[in-house]
Structure 1
Amino acid sequence: MKLEIWSDIMCPFCYIGKRRLENALAQFPHRDALHIVWRSFELDPNMQTKPGQSIHELLAERKGVSLAQGQQMNAHMGQIAQEVGLRFDFDNMVPVNTFLAHRFLHLAATHGQQDAAKEHVLAAYFTEGRNVDDIDTLVEIGAALGFDAAEVRAVLHTDAYTQEVRHDEYQARQIGVRGVPYFVFDDKYAVSGAQPSELFLEVLEKVWEEAHPAPAPVVLATGDACGLDGSDC
């Protein structure tokens, strides 16, 4: 059973959606049979990494609101995150271009550690106030996951996995993804947005049941019985 998830590192609902999905998976008896693939999606490919700018200032600028209103909007998002056990440190977030981090996640996939890498990168951005558009930061995350630090550094200094990121984004356009997170179950059903855990569980169960229908019982003997219309009784 496959689940593809298009998301961006700087998207708060992507992290919240990840937690809500995980809460659903904790109740899903077949979770070990689920293969999750994280697909790249850049909300703003032209975004410039700005370590000196606060995320409050960036939001206010983009929304055309005051700094105080931007802070209020982020505080509200932080409250939503707390509901699923996440702590967003908006005061220390570093606005970044996420392309390098997406390439790193594709590298992590080759090591079978993409899901863990996704969690580490999201935590680095939203909670730890780290610059995830920095090679040193990603090398440290890779080393924490058991990757060879020299390999990670060497790979990120090239354009490796650029095509993989671009292909994910091309796929997103082909299937009409307009926002993230965007979840596709077994190429059959799509869920857009950070939906409640109950909905994720419902979809997981539906997809599993369709892929693994209960077998019809084998009839070993027949005898006198009443028909549906009662005509044989």
Structure 2
Amino acid sequence: MRVEIWADIVCPFCYIGKNNFRRFLEELPEGETLEIINRSYELDPYASRTESPNSVASLAEKYGFSLEEAKARMRGVEEMAGKAGLPMNIFATRGANTHDAHRLVHLAEKTGKDEALLDALFRGHFVEGLNLNDHEVLLALWKEAGLEEKEAREALASETMTEAVEADLLRAQELGIRGVPYFLFDGKAEVSGAQPTEVFHRVYETLTKNPTEK
């Protein structure tokens, strides 16, 4: 069975949802495996590639909230992550354009390290509050994932993997995806949002019992 996952690196629900999906994979019976394909999604493709403001301040400015109201609205997400067993320091997160990060994820896929890189990117953003607009930060996270720096540095200086990212975004439009994370099982069944493991199990069991159903 093939599962395609559209997610964005600065999306807290993607961070939580992918963690829940990983737990679902760990709970599968021994010997059962799925083909996982990570797809790119950009929540704000027009986000600045140079400015990286604190996310609390940005939320307050965008909607006219006070800083305290913005924190209150974000606190629930941090609590949600805690219940999922994930560290999160959401008040330290910084805005970023994720296009270059997605290009690196596609590059890492060539050596089967895309999941490791995504882990590093999520941790860098949601736990360490790193600036993902900074190419040196991206390179450091790339190396954290066990990858050689040279290829990534060359990619960041060019348009390498831009077509792959754009293809994912186009496919998301065709599917009518309006929010992430979005999980597509064998092109037949979808799961949207940071759902608990039980939801993934239900979809998986339905498809394995009725593989021709859509």
CA distance in 2, matches of 1:16, 1:193: 9
CA distance in 1, matches of 2:77, 2:146: 33
Aligned to 2:83: 83
Q: Within 5 Å, give how 1:184-223 maps onto structure 2.
A: 184-211=184-211
**Structure-2-length-normalised TM-score:** 0.92
Deviations 1:2-32 (A, max 9, x none): 1101111111100110111122222111675
Which residues of structure 1 form unaligned runs of 5+?
213-233
CA distance in 1, matches of 2:165, 2:62: 25
Which contiguous aligned blocks of 4+ residues in structure 1 show a shift greater than 4 angstroms? Answer: none
Cα distance change on mapping 1:32 and 1:60 into 2, 3 Å = farther
**Alpha carbons 1:25, 1:31 under 8 Å: kept:** no
- Cα deviation for residue 83 of structure 1 reads 0.6
Aligned to 1:93: 93
Aligned to 1:215: none
Amino acid at match of 2:209: E
CA distance in 2, matches of 1:31, 1:178: 34
Which residues of structure 2 form unaligned runs of 5+?
none
Amino acid at match of 1:94: R
- Cα deviation for residue 144 of structure 1 reads 2.2
- Cα deviation for residue 111 of structure 1 reads 1.1
Cα distance change on mapping 1:128 and 1:31 into 2, 3 Å = farther
- Does residue 170 in structure 1 map to residue 175 in structure 2? no
**Alpha carbons 2:71, 2:91 under 8 Å: kept:** no
Cα distance change on mapping 1:32 and 1:136 into 2, 3 Å = farther
- Cα deviation for residue 206 of structure 1 reads 2.2
**Alpha carbons 1:5, 1:36 under 8 Å: kept:** yes
- Cα deviation for residue 122 of structure 1 reads 0.7
- Cα deviation for residue 207 of structure 1 reads 2.3
Aligned to 1:225: none
SS of match in other structure, 1:169: helix
**Alpha carbons 2:120, 2:144 under 8 Å: kept:** no
Aligned to 2:179: 179
- Does residue 155 in structure 1 map to residue 155 in structure 2? yes
Aligned to 2:131: 131
Aligned to 1:36: 36
**Alpha carbons 1:3, 1:185 under 8 Å: kept:** yes
**Structure-1-length-normalised TM-score:** 0.85
CA distance in 1, matches of 2:31, 2:144: 25
Cα distance change on mapping 1:130 and 1:41 into 2, 3 Å = same
SS of match in other structure, 1:26: helix
CA distance in 2, matches of 1:116, 1:209: 32
Q: What RMSD over aligned residues (CA atoms) do the two structures have, in Å? A: 1.7
Q: Percent of aligned pairs with the same residue?
A: 36
